[in-house]
Amino acid sequence: MHLIQLFLPLRDNDGQAFPRALYDEVRAALAERFGGVTAFVRSPAVGLWEDGEGDVQRDDVVLLEVMVDHVDHGWWVSYRKGLERRFRQDEVLVRATRVERL
């Protein structure tokens, strides 16, 4: 079993909030494809990273999670690229972690 986590930004590079409908569409699509999704949207996480010039960048993000038996890497790469276009990002973090259901 794998836990897939998607980190979606709350704002674009100009600081404008993305419309709620955009997140609703992603959540609905994931729920339909995988039979469920968990969205952590009330308390955004804060992502910090150092860019290529040594400056610290910050993003407030929401986290969406799905659990899958098998990771279809090709599908996820394509889906991530689509999210990057929709959210106008250089990169959207999508990660998979092997988990054990207890």
DSSP string covering 9-76? ESB-TTSPBPPHHHHHHHHHHHHHHHS--EEEEEEEEEEEEE-TTS-EEEEEEEEEEEEESS--HHHH
pLDDT tens digit string along 63-101? 999 999 999 999 999 999 999 999 999 899 999 999 998
Instruction: Check whether 43 has a pLDDT greater than 80.
Output: no
**Confidence band (pLDDT; 50, 70, 90) for 45?**
low
Rounded to two decimals, the pTM is 0.84
Instruction: Check whether 19 has a pLDDT greater than 70.
Output: yes
CATH architecture of 2-98: 2-Layer Sandwich (3.30)
Instruction: Check whether 46 has a pLDDT greater than 80.
Output: no
